Amino acid sequence: MTDEHYMKIAIAEAQKAFDKDEVPIGAVVVLQDKIIARAHNQVELLNDSTAHAEILALTTAYQFLGSKYLPEATLYVTVEPCLMCSGALYWSKIGRIVFGTYDEKNSYRRSTGTNNPFHPKTEIVGGVMEEDCAGLMKEFFKRLR
Amino acid sequence: MTDEHYMKIAIAEAQKAFDKDEVPIGAVVVLQDKIIARAHNQVELLNDSTAHAEILALTTAYQFLGSKYLPEATLYVTVEPCLMCSGALYWSKIGRIVFGTYDEKNSYRRSTGTNNPFHPKTEIVGGVMEEDCAGLMKEFFKRLR
């Protein structure tokens, strides 16, 4: 399966968040071409600023595998991760991170600059289905105003 | 109450982690001189790399207050936060962070350098009961070897 295939599923998760008035970000964890976790942002529902899609997806993946590391897995997420999620992904030792749209305001790069916060073996790919991922975010914040 | 008073309670949490073969880090959230959350690292127990003391304490505090922000609260933690926890603390907009021992290897500074990853209004104080906090960590890692 292609990165686009899994990103579409992450976008479907983001759409669920959108429909519940949550910032529309979705994430999927894939291992050996199987989805082992899918989640969307639930900060408002849970009243919990740590309930980002990536954190919820990682926790689900850990439970599913009974492992606290995911070196063979890929995380698909519709928006470039924030600092918290990047730190969580560092600890996961995840094999690959594929994200949709870049986030100049809230991504980890705001704090890390050119330093790489991920595990040295983690591959990171950005811009997959960027327009669709960005479109949901733009629509959400346009509605808020 | 003094910072030392609450740090002692965070150290008691770290000791609980130590006794369960977890990396001995404890955290306490205080609001208006009341402890609203206390937690220790549970990465091994939960098989979850996100289960750091700070994350668990923040989540408990959010549930307790029914709020996703903690601008009036102080987090006490025995060890300088990692990147993930620093990102979580950023989102919390917490008023103060007081930590015990510095962590040259795993703290957020490894990735952020001289950038401040916290909310601009967050005050950060390090080195409170440093020797006690560091002592537990040293003892733990000495045992592992």
The tens digit of pLDDT for each residue in A20-38 reads 999 999 999 999 999 999 9
Give the separation between CA A64 and CA A67, rounded to whole angstroms: 8
pLDDT in tens, B65-115: 999 999 999 999 999 999 999 999 999 999 999 999 999 999 999 999 999
Quick check: A112 pLDDT over 90?
yes
| Averaged pLDDT for residues B111-124 | 94
Give me the long-range contacts of B15-24 (CB less than 8 A, separation at least 24): B15/B136, B16/B40, B17/B41, B17/B42, B17/B53, B18/B136, B18/B139, B18/B140, B20/B44, B20/B45, B23/B137, B23/B140, B24/B78, B24/B136, B24/B137, B24/B139, B24/B140
Those of residues 35-64 in B touching chain A at CB distance below 8 A are 43-44, 46-50, 55, 58-59, 62-63
Confidence (pTM): 0.96
Identify from B29, B49, B58, B105 which residue to disrupt to test chain A contact, counting A C-beta atoms within 10 A and taking the largest count.
B49
pLDDT at B144: 84
| Amino acid B100: pLDDT | 98
List of chain A residues whose C-beta atoms are within 8 Å of the C-beta of residue B44:
68
